[in-house]
Amino acid sequence: MGNAANPKDEVNAEVSDRDGALAPGPDAANGRQRYERLVGEHLDGLYRVARRLTRNQATAEDLVQEAMLKAWRSFDTFREGTNARAWLHRILMNAYIDQYRRHARTPELLQDEIGDAYLSAGAREGPALSAEGNPEAHVLDRMMDDEVRESLDALPVGFRAAVVLVDVEGFSYKETAEILGVPVGTVMSRLYRGRRALKRRLAEFARDRHLVGGAQA
């Protein structure tokens, strides 16, 4: 693939270069080792989510670097035995929102509240992408990865974040609500709407490739 460096090494090097500016942080080698172990376990997932949020490799790398620095600064507040994965993803999401605000842009994530209360009543547990009796749902595992990624990237970021966290990364509704800083009902409505939009787009891909019949009136 031609990557020049291991992303984990880059994050650790970045933290080392700026240690002097990271007070308060973990004390000495023991704290640093705990931090590196915790980050190392979850870094790949953080990069996946960052790439889905930003839709740009370089921007995703910058976002993860920033999130890891924030995690290092606040690592002394992390309690062993709690949900480290959700804690790190929450920091990543906050860094993403901060990144948008610095560029004088409002994340779509913050604009999705309109209609959420109304739609959450219709959002149900269960994967809308694999609904029983829908022939379009059965072709999803035959789709090319690029087509699925393109369809996912086309979602508004608020919906995309919910779909990625729940359906791709496997977070529960409660964990996703904590990461996004919204009520569980809002997560459900975003997931419902995101799944519907993703399903429609994938169905169009499937029809274009004659994997299913044409749309019925």
115-160 residue pLDDT tens: 443 343 334 333 444 334 444 444 444 444 677 778 888 888 889 9
Q: Which of 105, 130, 147 is the last residue of a domain?
A: 105
Contact 1, 58 (CB under 8 A): no
Average pLDDT of every residue of the chain = 73
The answer as to whether 182 is a domain residue is yes
The answer as to whether 203 is a domain residue is yes
Sign (positive or negative) of CA dihedral 109, 110, 114, 117: positive
HSE, CB side, 13 Å, CA atoms: give it for residue 169. 27
Contact 194, 163 (CB under 8 A): yes
* CB-neighbour burial class of residue 132 (10 A; exposed 0-12, middle 13-18, buried 19+): exposed
Q: Which of 82, 105, 128 is the last residue of a domain?
A: 105
Contact 64, 46 (CB under 8 A): yes
Contact 160, 112 (CB under 8 A): no
Give the CATH number of the domain where residue 46 resides: 1.10.1740.10
pLDDT at 197 exceeding the cut of 50:
yes
One domain for residues 77 and 18: yes
Contact 100, 106 (CB under 8 A): yes
One domain for residues 43 and 65: yes
One domain for residues 100 and 140: no
The answer as to whether 89 is a domain residue is yes
Residue 9 — very low, low, confident or very high, per pLDDT cuts 50/70/90? low
The answer as to whether 1 is a domain residue is no
The answer as to whether 14 is a domain residue is yes
Contact 87, 135 (CB under 8 A): no
One domain for residues 147 and 83: no
One domain for residues 167 and 182: yes
HSE, CB side, 13 Å, CA atoms: give it for residue 188. 14
One domain for residues 15 and 75: yes
One domain for residues 45 and 86: yes
One domain for residues 165 and 80: no
What Rg, from alpha-carbon coordinates, does the chain have?
19
How far is it, in rounded angstroms, from Cα 128 to Cα 69? 37
**Pick from 176, 194, 182, 190: nearest CA to 89:** 176
| Contacts for 76 with CB less than 8 Å, ≥ 6 apart | 24, 25, 26, 31
Q: Report the domain count for the chain.
A: 2
How far is it, in rounded angstroms, from Cα 19 to Cα 28? 11
pLDDT, tens only, 69-86? 999 999 888 888 789 999
Residue 134 structural domain: 109-208
Q: Which of 80, 105, 130 is the last residue of a domain?
A: 105
The answer as to whether 67 is a domain residue is yes
Give the CATH number of the domain where residue 125 resides: 1.10.10.10
Residue 188 — very low, low, confident or very high, per pLDDT cuts 50/70/90? very high
